[in-house]
A and B are shown apart, each in its own frame.
Chain A
Amino acid sequence: DADVTQTPRNRITKTGKRIMLECSQTKGHDRMYWYRQDPGLGLRLIYYSFDVKDINKGEISDGYSVSRQAQAKFSLSLESAIPNQTALYFCATSDRQYFTDTQYFGPGTRLTVL
């Protein structure tokens, strides 16, 4: 079984709809992240959470919100989806070791907003 899972893997929705993307992990990591990937732009950080009570905005948080329901679950919501939020979304987890940590990525959710 995969350590980091994302649901759904693909989603097509319409402008104005509310969408939730879910991420679950079995790695036991405290830290979880949501990234967005667009062609030619690499991955950009949307939100991150270092534990259940900690939520932080990333580089491009406008139009998104998150919820850390448990150590193993981190959800990303688009309250009112718009077409320029069409992208590939990745969840990642990490567990700080020494002075750095390695992030492990889920398989991604491809979201299309019409």
Chain B
Amino acid sequence: GQQLNQSPQSMFIQEGEDVSMNCTSSSIFNTWLWYKQDPGEGPVLLIALYKAGELTSNGRLTAQFGTTRKDSFLNISASIPSDVGIYFCAGQLNSRGAQKLVFGQGTRLTINP
């Protein structure tokens, strides 16, 4: 099956620093999604990317759909304590009407105040 490699697995940063994480795949995806999971909650969608090369922002978050369609990255600028959580990338395949997501392993972000 498809595999997504997400890195880094964990990050320990100071408040105010910028954050960068990425996902790579051996397969091509039609859509890339970035989710955030807070403790005790389900993942919440942050950004969706639909076209190769697309760069999309959501507040302090910026994500890009790689031109090869096999990778994506997420940047968080000027991190704040509420950014703590686990971030997941997900690639979506459109095949015969099936909209299935393949998730990365997650990046756990810890922020020191």
**B48 sits at the interface (CB 8 A):** yes
Chain B residues within 8 Å of chain A by Cβ, number: 28
**B31 sits at the interface (CB 8 A):** yes
Q: Which residues of B contact A100 (CB under 8 A)?
A: 30-31, 48, 50, 92, 94, 99
**B1 sits at the interface (CB 8 A):** yes
State the main secondary structure of chain A at its contact with B.
strand
State the main secondary structure of chain B at its contact with A.
strand
**Using a Cβ cutoff of 8 Å, how many contacts connect chains A and B?**
57
| Cβ contact within 8 Å between A42 and B42 | no
**A45 sits at the interface (CB 8 A):** yes
B30, closest chain A residue (CB): A100
CB contact under 8 A between A42 and B106, given known A100-B94, A101-B99, A102-B48: yes
Residues of B within 8 A of A (CB): 1, 4, 6, 9, 30-31, 33, 35, 40-45, 48, 50, 88, 92, 94, 97-101, 103-106
